[in-house]
Amino acid sequence: MAFINPEEVIEDLPVEEDMLAADFGCGSGGWALPLADKLSEGAVYAIDLLEEPLSVLKSKLNREGVANVKVLRENIEEGTSIPDKKVNLVLMTNFIFQVEDYDSIFSEARRILKNSGFIFIAEWSPDSPIGPREIKIHPEEVKKVAERHNFALKEEFQFGMHHYGFLYQK
């Protein structure tokens, strides 16, 4: 697999159709939409700080008739409006490299995750010739932050030469 395929990856995650999920840094919905499809009896909180990609996502949701995605424009580093222990899964895909305070997003994930909930992380590989040049986060740094927040590593992934990933459990 040259690039990450959200549909294929979601099939391999511990996802059941009635779960609630949060997509941190959802952008225009590349992960939120396939996740919403998989969560036919559940829902996805699609969260981003930027209005433009959220507007694109809202248009897609309307066009495709998707009703189980709640779009939130929030700064995840400052916390979200999601209640404590509400979600089963937090997605952080191509997101961490954009954040200044890694601890804040992992604290927020811990707060909103139910006991035994999961975090799925996918980030640009440091040696990938494409993607952000100066601000890629090394996998070992992700591991250190996750461990500081008492998340247990369940699985490691390599998605071609461009992305790595982790599945953590609370």
Exposure string for 97-118, b = 16+ CB within 10 A, e = fewer? bebeebeebbebbbebbeeebb
CATH of domain 6-169: 3.40.50.150
Domain boundaries, the chain: 6-169
Packed helices 139-148 and 102-112: angle between N→C axes, nearest 10 degrees = 50
CA gap 144, 150 in Å, rounded: 10
End-to-end CA distance of the chain: 29
Q: Would the pTM count as exceeding 0.85? A: yes
Kindly give, in sequence order, each residue whose CB lies less than 8 Å from that of residue 59, ignoring residues fewer than 6 positions away. none
Predicted confidence pLDDT, tens digits, the chain (170 residues): 457 899 999 999 999 999 999 999 999 999 999 999 999 999 999 999 999 999 999 999 999 999 999 999 999 999 999 999 999 999 999 999 999 999 999 999 999 999 999 999 999 988 888 887 777 889 999 999 999 999 999 999 998 888 999 999 99
Quote the tokens at residue 127.
């040696």
